[in-house]
Structure 1
Amino acid sequence: MGVVPVELLPHLRRARDLADRNFAEPLDLTALASTAGVSKYHFLRCFAAEYGETPMQYVGRRRIERAADLLRATNLTVTEVCHLVGFSSLGSFSRRFTSLLGMSPSEYQRTQDGPRVPGCYVFMLGLNSAIPAKPDPAARA
């Protein structure tokens, strides 16, 4: 893959930030490319070259990371978490979760110790303010 033009990097970061903020919302390539101000095909190539994964792989990974946080720290069910992080299919969610973390969401939840935030707080305060996410080391890049 080619080198991404330096002047495009802030625009790619703006689209990545949108994906980070709105991961649970329906996001598609067109919306992310529009945020970056380039065509969706150019955006797809440049994003993959810069971040090592396609925009939709990035969004899916961020959703699974957030799901893992929720399963670890709340008493929400796997189905509730699935829908909260933006998946519409429990099967797709479980497959993606298992492929990234090596165990099913239910198994992951059972292995987690520690206090749990009641689900009502998550719904009352909102997804982004109820459970702090782990810092993303790639975000500093």
Structure 2
Amino acid sequence: MDAHFTDPLTLAEVADVAGYSPFHFARAFAAAFGTSPMAYLATRRVERAKTLLRTANLTVTEVCHAVGFTSLGTFSARFRAIVGVTPTAYRAEHVRAGGPPVPGCFALAWGQPQPSTRPPSGTARSEKQGHGDAS
């Protein structure tokens, strides 16, 4: 869940990956972590949203979608329930205290998979050994 918190995860999908029925997974997860899987997921998303709201030049709607929420209303309600203030109020509190925000394009690219700089396996070796040369 931590690695894919921005994906549209459902309890059934997460339970399936863990090899449990949704009911048994939810019960075992709550026993281990003290909260439901979906509440944990919402908390992870809100933690990331707090970072983006403090540091990135993104709108609240862009932050909402960047952290995996599909509804601005749900995002705002969950954010307020967890943090105690709305996303807009949270940003306003922290903008007064900090420096310039990071451009949104950099913030959205953070955490994205990076392309490999290594050649596909076998390519470099064949060229070094001269395979396919006419000589």
Residue identity (%): 50
Whole-angstrom CA distance in 2 between matches of 1:51 and 1:28: 18
Q: Are 2:35 and 1:64 aligned?
A: no
Aligned counterpart, 1:43:
25
The amino acid of 2:107's aligned partner reads V
Aligned partner of 1:55 among 37, 40, 50: 37
Stretches of structure 2 lacking an aligned partner (at least 5 in a row): 113-135
Q: Give the structure with the larger helix fraction.
A: 1
**2:69/2:75 contact within 8 Å kept:** yes
**2:52/2:107 contact within 8 Å kept:** no
Query: Alpha carbon RMSD of aligned pairs, Å?
Result: 1.2
The amino acid of 1:57's aligned partner reads A
Aligned partner of 2:107 among 118, 122, 140: 122
Counterparts of 1:25-40 in structure 2, within 5 Å, are: 25-40=7-22
Q: How many residues align?
A: 109
Larger radius of gyration: 2
Deviation of residue 114 (structure 1)? 2.5
Q: Are 2:60 and 1:78 aligned?
A: yes
* TM-score normalised over the length of structure 2: 0.76
* TM-score normalised over the length of structure 1: 0.73
Q: Residue deviations 1:29-68, cap 9 Å, x none?
A: 1111112111111111000011011101111111111100
